[in-house]
Amino acid sequence: MAASGIIFSNIHDNNIPELTRMRTIASVPFGCRYRFIDFTLSNMVNSNIYNISVITHLNYQSLMDHIGSGKDWDLARRSGGIKILPPFITAYADKAKSVYQTRLEALKGVSNAINRITDEYVVLSDCDVICNIDFNDMIEYHRKSGADMTFAVKKVALTKEAAKLNVIYNSDDDGRLTDVIAYPVNYEGEADITLNIIVMTTAYLRQIVAEAIAYDHVSLTRDVISRNLNRMNYRVYKYDGYFACISSLEDYFQHSMDLITNANARDSLFNVKNRPVYTKVRNSTPAYYSPSARVDSSMIADGCYIEGTVENSIIFRGVKIGRNATVKNCIIMQDTIVGDGAFLNYVITDKNAVIRDGTMLVGAESQPFYVSKGKMI
């Protein structure tokens, strides 16, 4: 079953504006050495999908730097491989609406690229849902069911606050989609929420895009799925593995900490047989721990230089922790320097930050203190 992949790299940038001010959500660092897009790219490559298009919006320089030629994902190919699709803006475009806001608008902007896809099936995915999913199984389910579109969902328990951030897909006993509830304000309880992963035939995708252009449709959920719910065969694929949907800085912090405290989360992401998670290789030296260093319940990447105390924290590549410094319950991103005697608790530092000697920064579990990229404190 030949399939191509389309990844939306900017759709949820506004969910965590602190981390996406200078990058796309696709290139947000996660889990010591990865970026969000690594999980989606790895899922596709592990499912033998080697023709992948990444639709961009803005701030995608860091994404291009990270992906490069795609060789780290075995996507540097003469035929197929990975393509970055920049936003299509005409000379006569309305500046207020010149760049897409929804998935359907993004697809309309790359209609020429979609028309060149030769594979029978296409997998559409956001890049901020962290999971290790087998697309081959989902495509086979789609084929056997005779569905026009198949949506990946997972049953979770929702609070009223969490429900406001999710789209609920109701289905019958056969898995046929019966209703879509977008961002309900008063819902509470168990529900199947979308993972924003869709499988369909390439021919049907072309039809959707052509009709959207002809009739000025802008929303995939409202203008396509809801309108055609009763006459088309839309189905849900129930995914039962681990996943993390990042919808706020608090979510980012909590799901990152899950990698330390939740063995099931780590195993479900990184220890699935024949389904590794790939990322850009950086040939750094091993992490160095001085005789005075003390590390407990933490993830430390290569290239780090640790002289102080690190507890329950995630330390990215190239970080330096000074003498007598204490880092607890923190996420310290690449090439950050924590000075001698500094004290950090519930802090997220972006790349290349500098925390001066003796500085004390304290946040809270529900609201970690954030230090922006390149900031010196």
- Extract long-range pairs of 361-366: CB within 8 Å, 24+ residues apart: 365/253, 365/254, 365/329, 366/250
What amino acid is encoded at 328 in this protein?
K
**HSE-up (13 A, CA, CB side) for residue 284:** 19
User: Which residues fall within 8 angstroms of residue 336, CB to CB, at 6 or more apart?
Assistant: 316, 319, 320, 349, 350, 351, 352, 353, 354, 355
What is the C-alpha separation between 45 and 52, in angstroms, rounded? 9
In this prediction, residues 302-318 reach a mean pLDDT of 97
pLDDT-derived band at 93 (thresholds 50, 70, 90) equals very low
At 79 the pLDDT is 86
**HSE-up (13 A, CA, CB side) for residue 131:** 21
Average pLDDT, the chain: 92
372, 348 Cβ separation under 8 angstroms: no
Residue 293: Cβ within 10 Å count? 17
At 298 the pLDDT is 96
Question: How would you class 310 by CB atoms within 10 Å of its CB: exposed for 0-12, middle for 13-18, buried for 19 or more?
Answer: buried
Record the tokens describing residue 48, joined without a space. 């033998």
Look at residue 89 and tell me whether its pLDDT is greater than 60: no
At 127 the pLDDT is 87
What amino acid is encoded at 90 in this protein?
T
Helix then strand then coil, % of the chain, to nearest 5: 30, 30, 40
Look at residue 291 and tell me whether its pLDDT is greater than 50: yes
At 316 the pLDDT is 97
Look at residue 90 and tell me whether its pLDDT is greater than 70: no
At 88 the pLDDT is 66
What is the C-alpha separation between 18 and 29, in angstroms, rounded? 12
Question: How would you class 114 by CB atoms within 10 Å of its CB: exposed for 0-12, middle for 13-18, buried for 19 or more?
Answer: buried
Residue 342: Cβ within 10 Å count? 23
At 98 the pLDDT is 56
At 255 the pLDDT is 94
Look at residue 1 and tell me whether its pLDDT is greater than 80: no
In this prediction, residues 188-207 reach a mean pLDDT of 95
Question: The dihedral of CA 259, 264, 267, 268: what is its sign?
Answer: negative
Dmax (CA) for the chain in angstroms is: 69
What is the C-alpha separation between 98 and 87, in angstroms, rounded? 9
Look at residue 97 and tell me whether its pLDDT is greater than 60: no
At 92 the pLDDT is 39
Report the share of the chain in percent with pLDDT over 70.
97
User: Which residues fall within 8 angstroms of residue 78, CB to CB, at 6 or more apart?
Assistant: none
Look at residue 276 and tell me whether its pLDDT is greater than 70: yes
Question: Torsions phi, psi of 167, nearest 5?
Answer: -110, 125
Question: Torsions phi, psi of 136, nearest 5?
Answer: -60, -40
Least confident of 39-43, 219-223, 290-294, 331-335: 219-223
292, 310 Cβ separation under 8 angstroms: no
158-195 per-position pLDDT tens digit: 888 888 888 999 999 999 999 999 889 889 999 999 99
